[in-house]
Structure 1
Amino acid sequence: MEIRTHIRLVVAWRIIIISGIISLIYACSYSDKKISHLSGIAPSEHTLLAITPDVSIKVIGDSLNKSYPQLRTGKVFPITGLLRVDGKAYRFMGDDSLRISPLAPLSEDTIGWMGKYSFLYPGKGWELREYDDSLWNEGNGAFGPTKGYYYPAHTLWGAENFYVRRHIKVDNKDVLKNHKVYARYVCDDQIKLFCNGGFLLENGFTHRTKCQRLTDEAVSQIVDGDNVLAAYCRNTGGAGLLDFGLYIENKTYADAEPATLKKMDAQAMQTQFIFQCGEVELQIDFVSSSLSEKWDMTGWPVGFLTYQVRTESKKDHTVEVLFDVDTEWMFGKRKVDSWVDKDWRFAKSDSLYLAMVADETTFSCEDNHIILSQKLCASNEDKGVLLIGYEEGQTFLYSGETLRPLWDKNGTREVKELMMSVGDRYQEFKAECDKLDYRWNIKAFQAGNKAFAEQTISDYRNFISSHRFVSSPDNKFFCFGDTLGNVREAYKSFPTLLFFNRTDCMKGLLDPVFAYCADIHWVKKYPPYDIGLYPIASKQVKLEDCAIEAAANMLMMTTAVVEAEQDFGYADVHWEQLCLWANYLQERMKKETFPVSELLDEKDERVKCVLGLKAYHKLVQWRKAYE
């Protein structure tokens, strides 16, 4: 219920302010002794690396080497991390290899494949292996536009409904044992896929190749000899496209033994994992540049992970660390570039950049996998760093103007330059993060319990990873989620941002809304619920105005900024709009009759009015003191 939500938010804000004083006392007593993490925080899910909204890497619990990390969208980030100790491989990141080999390749992996097709409904049982398709048309897949299209189609698909049967010969199904089998497909618009009559998947428009693992039940339906992949597709408009095939896991790293996790600790600035790999202990730390406070790195699309090996025995070990990223799995087939720049070895595919120190690092690109490996020895003190950067390709439009990301507001910087800047001082950066973690850890545990600390840290990482930071036309700091200027989402983020003293982000969420309302085209007496969808700020997306909620939230959030900064200046700049919204709430309180039932409903507008007006009265008191 929303009234309870408001109470929790207000209480959280008060706790945060009080705990801030306590944490400052502890921070002042901090010495230069080695930092030791206090909490052992292990959230059920959190952001490992906040890079960009398109590529921010998440992990579920302690599953770093039990499954692949995921992107914010839920898509797999296909990275494998191995440590070889005296020739024996230990996997500390990712699942077993994502390398796949075709049982029945897609058109883009070959010169095409022969299939039977029909534009008319062929009758019941058409997807079964035993069905007689001898009278069907025969064509070369993929199916779609045969000229001037981005995908290699060989037979035209020119109807709304489309039925395709692809015969696949399997000589020995025993080769599938203990291997994962995947269906790969691309379709515009809708697809249902079957194997020997058994349902495999259903999906909508996919302009890039998708890959889905078959269940053990589906794999068991495959037989020696002739098998049939059958697809029903529907094109709702425009050009239709269909391609599908079967692939089998190629266990490149089948000999790799999962490393033993000894410790996981998620802090405000970084997440640490410690693994045992035979007689060697491996420490991995994930650090996001955007979380930095010492340097102005907000919005930098760069993250990194440091690695260090230790052993208690006096025995010498030959140690090598290896990272393998499957770019085909992420992007479809893409060209991979590699070069050395100022002592850094770079590899790039699509918009993804990877880099390691060039010395003692080898690079290879096998089957569209970027593979970087480094020998760990005395010359590099048994430690190193992997840099990860990503450049979003879309242009952000605001009020008819193109806004550039904060890290490149002049349009002259490149991601690789940011990566080298981070890499050259990563040890100094890491040490600063240790200090910040110590400070925020104390504050979190003073403000609440372990559950509070886990939630606050996760919320902060998620906020940074899901927002874009841009420079406005008048050089203000704007902060946008996927739904631009979403007042409700901003309100939910404020307690976390207040806890971390991120008043810059708090104002960055509010300023676009203030600017939008100052435009001559906005004539309403309350603020918008949102101002568009990324990458274009144009008009409100939500059909309902949610006027009371938006006005009250803006008043409360502005009050929070004023109290956090202990300065009325921010509210003074927007005073005319704040008064307009307060008057709107006052009029609604006088004219509207709010049913009592709404007080127990999630849309309790009367409570919102009261909270908004209370915030406004605080601002009035601040203004009098300010004068």
Structure 2
Amino acid sequence: MKQQLMMLLLGTASVLCSCETQVEQHEKNELRAPAYPLVTIDPYTSAWSTTDNLYDSPVKHWTGKDFSLLGVAKVDGQTYRFMGTEELELRPLVKTSEQGSWTGKYTTQQPADGWQNIGFDDKAWKEGEAAFGTMENEHTAKTQWGEEFIWVRRVADIQEDLTGKNVYLEFSHDDDAIIYINGIKVVDTGNACKKNERVKLSEEVVASLKPGENLIAGYCHNRVGNGLLDFGLLVELDGYRSFHQAAQQTSVDVQPMQTYYTFTCGPVDLKLTFTAPMFMDNLDLLSRPVNYISYEVASNDGQKHQVELYFEAAPQWALDQPHQESVADSFTDGNLLFLCTGSRNQEILKKKGDDLRIDWGHFYLAAEKENSTCAIGDGRELRKSFLDNKLEAPTTNGYDKLALVRSLGETEKTDGHLLIGYDDIYSIQYFGDNLRPYWNREGNETIVSQFQEAEKEYKTLMQNSAAFDKKLMEEATAAGGRKYAELCALAYRQALAAHKLVQAPNGDLVFLSKENFSNGSIGTVDLTYPGAPLLLYYNPELVKATMNHIFYYSESGKWAKPFAAHDVGTYPLANGQTYGGDMPVEESGNMVVLAAAIAKMEGNADYAQKHWETLTTWTDYLVENGLDPANQLCTDDFAGHFAHNANLSIKAIMGIASYGYLADMLGKKDVAEKYTQKAKEMAAEWVKMADDGDHYRLTFDKPGTWSQKYNLVWDKLLNLQIFPKNVAETEIAYYLSKQNKYGLPLDNRETYTKTDWIMWTATLANDKATFEKFIEPMYLFMNVTPNRVPMSDWVFTDEPNQRGFQARSVVGGYYIKMLEGKLIK
């Protein structure tokens, strides 16, 4: 009766979770996500669908590399591919620098017209080995290029007829790149930065590729600090596809912990659910490296049908580059059948950087051994053997696929699940110590025991995950509207999976972020700050865990400066700051403000008391240097250094006020009065310095400028009462006049924005309706952007394009509107 009532209330907008037991019903998320989360464990094991239909492209790692995971239903002998594509099999035709070595002619001075054409005289150009880039930041760079521009000409000797072949250009660039083949423009990226991108060549370009010498010519514009240019050609192998018929996808729905798909496979309907039970109040569960893929099969014609489900995973899940050799195995434990793969050379924690994938440890796929069969070997042969009803294949030379078949028999309705996960053995190097993942912090767990626990808790976790999702969406809708809630749903797993949880040797809980597609830094304070609202809302202990390493860095004497560090290394090596420039006001303000936010959530300042001496040092630095900041970076470092930053000044003032707030909670009344009064005096000066009539300036010295003052939100959330209320009201009114189709620009200098800061800025509004006016354009952007990547936080507002960054933890900042409801009661 209760279930019938819920169905009537929710109507056609409701869906039922596809799992082996009844679960909560929820309202469907209507957002067409830029990318759909599938498997979300940590920065390395993170898989997404980047197309509207799950079967329209390969499953991808957040970096855009293929994480091949194939799913096929065989119904009465007919096959229907419902997940992924058969891995595109390519061989290098003209190798990139990662596939082999090549040299080219280059210049950093503007060449004459026609430089991209065959026959151009490049004798005066230099010769260098690819890739061309900033060698201190790009591990593939062999020829140093730090100037603003570069032009490269590469003669490619092709010794085969490519008629009728599918040929691809593969290239890496930072930033703007234009690439020509035999004088024909193939790529014009605009202001972007990508690694190992592929573009299928048109028939015209392929026809121009004749046996003998051909020319690939590339231009690149290095806008800020990093530069990179590399390119080559790949040709598609023939006859690798076995599953030509796709299922018909009928819906997709992203909830915070689960992504639901539904398909029609001829006479059978299939529901597929990806679940990451990332409960922040259970750290062992949060860090458990196992996700679920659940399925439910139901006849749509009332008849029974013979059904098998085929799942195939590539070793790329455990490799950085596809050309690395792997080893694979299968075994049983208890009632589970396991398949696993890993790199042949287990070089644990030997790599650091941004656009990298893990190549140590092992990837696992598991299912109930009853009615399951498996095989390891050549992918094409595995697929053919499945079609022939005998799962077997010869092994390959170091690139075996994993195939798992669930035989569901002749059925009208049935369900089941797979488990998918990763054992990284050691996760982080922390000031010289190699740390195990939190789930194995004592060294007494195994990946098999984690899978067995996950199997035992499956039904309970599916119920709890669905119930959690339903509650979160209801709370988010109440706080900021339905579109806000749908953005929060997409942000949840992305924000958490961009961290790794470990326990430091001193017992500290450490939750380390990775700067995905920004620079690869680990434990960055100005990622901690914007991402904190999600963690504050659900478990302040995790906010402390994003700060503990920075306190340790200072208090151990390893960082001796009187302000907070920017980071503690480059992921996964947390051995000390590697970022090239300090952000003294930014990071110090971030740390003190977050200490106050933790105190507000917990009702005590015990955490601040533990680090009082360090907080005092940082706050005194803000008092001395924060009102009118000198030429320096803030968290929006992509905009470059500049002085007199009004929003950065607010951060300093909020930091000083937060210190006063903490002192008051600790009974240090004289200290509280001193610093609170100082913050109010600085705020009064700020108002005079930044006043520009109907708004406040970007920098104190430049009238006619403006910027988002997102740091001001803490005056409201912590009820500090430092700035006059009309400051926020004036800014909000002005911002509404500056919005573009896809959002509010960060400031007057560019049309790009940061989506996390829009959420913070919008939370300054006094009413929900005004808040939603800022969310609508953001929602539109995510709904229509052609950049199919895990949500970018750095996007343009006058066009639906990503500027940079993706899959970053800062989208946890979307939860600041929900946090407002907890902090202001």
Q: What's the TM-score, normalizing by structure 2? A: 0.57
The verdict on how the C-alpha distance between 1:221 and 1:393 changes in structure 2, with shifts beyond 3 A counting, is farther
Shift of 1:475: 1.6
CA contact (8 A) 1:270 1:433 kept: yes
Query: Which residue does the alignment assign to 1:532?
Result: 569
Match of 2:198 among 208, 212, 215: 212
Shift of 1:518: 0.7
Matches of residues 162-561 of structure 1 in structure 2 within 5 Å? 165-170=156-161, 173-174=163-164, 176=165, 180-182=166-168, 212-217=198-203, 220-221=206-207, 226=211, 246-250=234-238, 252-253=240-241, 255-291=243-279, 293=281, 296-327=284-315, 331-332=322-323, 334-342=325-333, 343-350=336-343, 351-359=362-370, 360-367=372-379, 368=399, 369-377=401-409, 382-392=414-424, 396-482=428-514, 483-499=521-537, 501-561=538-598
1:337-384 per-residue CA deviation (whole Å, 9 max, x = no partner) reads 221221313131433322233333232422443322222237997323
Shift of 1:44: 3.3
Q: How many angstroms apart in 2 are the aligned matches of 1:593 and 1:230?
A: 49
The one-letter amino acid paired with 2:35 is: E
1:196-243 per-residue CA deviation (whole Å, 9 max, x = no partner) reads 67577899xxxxx968343224654167x846566799xxxxxxxx99
The one-letter amino acid paired with 1:335 is: S
Query: Which residue does the alignment assign to 1:585?
Result: 622
Instruction: Give 3-state SS (helix, strand or coil) of 1:484's partner.
Output: coil
1:471-521 per-residue CA deviation (whole Å, 9 max, x = no partner) reads 10112210112323311111101112223x122221110111111111234
Alignment of 1:624 onto 2:662: no
Shift of 1:392: 4.0
Alignment of 1:50 onto 2:40: yes
Matches of residues 599-618 of structure 1 in structure 2 within 5 Å? 604-618=647-661
Query: Which residue does the alignment assign to 1:80?
Result: 70
Q: How many angstroms apart in 2 are the aligned matches of 1:406 and 1:497?
A: 17
Q: How many angstroms apart in 2 are the aligned matches of 1:470 and 1:456?
A: 26
Q: How many angstroms apart in 2 are the aligned matches of 1:449 and 1:589?
A: 36
For structure 2, the 5+ residue unaligned runs are 1-20, 108-112, 121-129, 131-141, 146-151, 190-194, 219-229, 344-361, 380-398, 515-520, 632-640, 670-825
The one-letter amino acid paired with 2:341 is: K
CA contact (8 A) 2:299 2:412 kept: no
Of Structure 1 and Structure 2, the greater strand share is in 1
Matches of residues 97-136 of structure 1 in structure 2 within 5 Å? 97-100=86-89
The verdict on how the C-alpha distance between 1:101 and 1:402 changes in structure 2, with shifts beyond 3 A counting, is closer
Instruction: Give 3-state SS (helix, strand or coil) of 1:258's partner.
Output: coil
Q: How many angstroms apart in 2 are the aligned matches of 1:552 and 1:196?
A: 54
CA contact (8 A) 2:523 2:567 kept: yes
Shift of 1:558: 0.9
Q: How many angstroms apart in 1 are the aligned matches of 2:616 and 2:92?
A: 68
1:589-625 per-residue CA deviation (whole Å, 9 max, x = no partner) reads 689899xxx9998653331122112222221222129
Shift of 1:396: 2.9
The verdict on how the C-alpha distance between 1:424 and 1:76 changes in structure 2, with shifts beyond 3 A counting, is same
Q: What's the TM-score, normalizing by structure 1? A: 0.73
The one-letter amino acid paired with 1:214 is: K
Shift of 1:312: 3.9
The verdict on how the C-alpha distance between 1:381 and 1:294 changes in structure 2, with shifts beyond 3 A counting, is farther
- Percent of matched pairs sharing the same residue: 23
CA contact (8 A) 2:35 2:48 kept: yes
1:312-342 per-residue CA deviation (whole Å, 9 max, x = no partner) reads 4331111111122343696325334221221
The verdict on how the C-alpha distance between 1:197 and 1:601 changes in structure 2, with shifts beyond 3 A counting, is same
Q: How many angstroms apart in 2 are the aligned matches of 1:463 and 1:290?
A: 11
The one-letter amino acid paired with 1:604 is: N
The one-letter amino acid paired with 2:363 is: L
Instruction: Give 3-state SS (helix, strand or coil) of 1:169's partner.
Output: coil
CA contact (8 A) 1:291 1:464 kept: no
1:389-428 per-residue CA deviation (whole Å, 9 max, x = no partner) reads 2344776332333322212223354434423332343233
Q: How many angstroms apart in 1 are the aligned matches of 2:41 and 2:168?
A: 29
Shift of 1:286: 0.8
Shift of 1:268: 1.4
Q: Return the structure number with greater relative CO, CA threshold 8 A, min gap 6.
A: 1
CA contact (8 A) 1:99 1:251 kept: no
The one-letter amino acid paired with 2:593 is: M
CA contact (8 A) 2:81 2:243 kept: no
Alignment of 1:566 onto 2:603: yes
Query: Which residue does the alignment assign to 2:755?
Result: none
The verdict on how the C-alpha distance between 1:613 and 1:163 changes in structure 2, with shifts beyond 3 A counting, is closer
**Greater mean deviation of Cα atoms: 209-218 or 511-520:** 209-218
The verdict on how the C-alpha distance between 1:600 and 1:434 changes in structure 2, with shifts beyond 3 A counting, is farther
1:141-173 per-residue CA deviation (whole Å, 9 max, x = no partner) reads xx9xxxxxxxxxxxxx9xx99966434333x83
The one-letter amino acid paired with 1:320 is: E
The one-letter amino acid paired with 1:83 is: A
The one-letter amino acid paired with 1:304 is: Y
Instruction: Give 3-state SS (helix, strand or coil) of 1:52's partner.
Output: coil
Q: How many angstroms apart in 2 are the aligned matches of 1:413 and 1:379?
A: 38
The one-letter amino acid paired with 1:363 is: A
CA contact (8 A) 2:278 2:493 kept: no
The one-letter amino acid paired with 1:82 is: V
Shift of 1:283: 0.8
Instruction: Give 3-state SS (helix, strand or coil) of 2:623's partner.
Output: helix
Query: Which residue does the alignment assign to 2:812?
Result: none
**Greater mean deviation of Cα atoms: 289-298 or 383-392:** 289-298
**Greater mean deviation of Cα atoms: 578-587 or 247-256:** 247-256
The verdict on how the C-alpha distance between 1:128 and 1:75 changes in structure 2, with shifts beyond 3 A counting, is same
Q: How many angstroms apart in 2 are the aligned matches of 1:519 and 1:604?
A: 31
Q: How many angstroms apart in 2 are the aligned matches of 1:85 and 1:590?
A: 69
CA contact (8 A) 1:85 1:320 kept: yes
CA contact (8 A) 1:324 1:371 kept: yes
The verdict on how the C-alpha distance between 1:546 and 1:308 changes in structure 2, with shifts beyond 3 A counting, is same
For the aligned residue pairs, the C-alpha RMSD in angstroms reads 4.6
CA contact (8 A) 1:184 1:247 kept: no
Instruction: Give 3-state SS (helix, strand or coil) of 1:440's partner.
Output: helix
The verdict on how the C-alpha distance between 1:385 and 1:349 changes in structure 2, with shifts beyond 3 A counting, is farther
Shift of 1:53: 0.8
The verdict on how the C-alpha distance between 1:184 and 1:251 changes in structure 2, with shifts beyond 3 A counting, is farther
